[in-house]
Amino acid sequence: MTDNDKIQRTMDHAWRYFELHAQQRMTVFNFFLAISGLISAGVGVCLQQGTKFSTLASLLGIFLIMVSFIFWKLDQRVSEMIKSAESTLCQVEAATETDDILIFTRERQTPRAKGFFAVWTYGKCFRVSFFAVGLIGLAFSILPHFVDFSAKPGEDNTPYKRVCIL
């Protein structure tokens, strides 16, 4: 087996590994969106029923926090696996000694702009999403005990009538 054959086999293996885990990351995030959407819909139904389902709405809020945390940790693991494949691909690119195909190497060497409006990575977008949904879960777990969301149009919706005191 020649050196070129070894490089090609390594490149193919690393690329399949990268592709598998990149696809897995997107699939996991899609599941997160679906599950958190269903939980949020359940909380919405509970809140429409008034205070009789406030405990269930709170439990669903706590479950939403747990789901956000679990999916964040899953994403961390997949991110590590993708970075491992990228490192291998950078080494293979370097071994080819051809500047035209240094895709991963150039990507790593490109300086990133800082700040809120800079280009965000998938990881940063996902982490912001997990954090935001976790905060929404926290709100779902607390608010049902203090606010009655079942008030109908035409009813007296003054704040002191809507707030439930435990």
What are 92-138's pLDDT values in tens digits? 877 777 777 777 777 777 777 777 778 888 999 999 999 999 999 99
**Domain coordinates of the chain in residue numbers?**
3-162
Task: Tell me which residue has tokens 């899609």.
Answer: 30
Higher pLDDT: 89 or 41? It is 41
Q: Which of 44, 37, 24 is nearest to 64 (CA)?
A: 37
pLDDT score for 79 = 94
Judged by average pLDDT, the poorest of 52-56, 72-76, 82-86, 108-112 is 108-112
Residues near 81 by Cβ (< 8 Å), separated by ≥ 6? 17, 21
Amino acid, res. 78: V
pTM value is 0.78
pLDDT score for 166 = 46
pLDDT at 71 over 50: yes
What are 9-55's pLDDT values in tens digits? 888 898 899 999 999 999 999 999 999 999 999 999 998 888 889 99
How far is residue 94's CA from residue 153's CA, in Å, rounded to a whole number? 68
How far is residue 134's CA from residue 66's CA, in Å, rounded to a whole number? 8
pLDDT score for 22 = 93
